[in-house]
Chain A
């Protein structure tokens, strides 16, 4: 079974631009979560989608948004990029439907650099 894939793997943008990152979960997984990883703040939860609905959201500004499609693929968007948005953005998928936690499988991440 193929793992979680993320595209692109590397991205360089300038301040003020916007960016869209893509995540394809493991086949059959309907839950997709996004995380931001930086040396200073570590791994921080952005949001979770399940069946095209945002089910949970972390403490990030509204510039960070996401969506999920009917095939469970997910995208996240960051508008008006700031230098501090430079990070590794990780996507994780899970097979769980409701009720109780399950293992999350992570993709390799997208390394975003904002200049």
Chain B
């Protein structure tokens, strides 16, 4: 089976609220994690990444938390907006010999923002 998965397939939030999207991974050798956003008809768009030597990283309105002890990753979106409605994927990278083209993706969580 896949080593990266998501706890919830769908998430519905009110505009202005904070959103939290969770992800579990099973490979302790993974050293790099990325969150992608995919809108209908488009390819995944990079949101934020984090390396395994960090436990938190912040971007614009987004924060990624990494808990290596329980192999858990989360994406927090502050003040969620209608434009945030999309499917969100977490992905992990197993850095075999320097090759970093192999991303393992979770199934995705569909975020719906109610106005």
Contacts and interface: CB of A to CB of B under 8 A. Distances in A.
Interface residues of B, number: 29
B99 A56 contact: yes
Interface stretch (B54-62, B73-81, B104-112): B104-112
Interface of B: 2, 31-32, 34, 36, 41-46, 49, 51, 89, 91, 93, 95-96, 98-108
A16 interface: no
Cβ-closest 10 pairs across A and B: A48-B101, A106-B43, A101-B100, A101-B32, A43-B105, A33-B101, A98-B98, A101-B93, A56-B99, A55-B99
30 contacts: A31-B100, A33-B103, A35-B103, A35-B105, A43-B44, A43-B103, A43-B105, A45-B101, A45-B102, A47-B101, A48-B101, A49-B101, A56-B96, A56-B99, A58-B102, A92-B103, A99-B98, A100-B98, A100-B100, A101-B31, A101-B93, A101-B95, A103-B46, A104-B103, A105-B46, A107-B43, A108-B42, A108-B43, A109-B42, A109-B43
B48 to A, nearest CB: 10
> Chain A interface residue count: which class?
20 to 34
Nearest to B52: A101
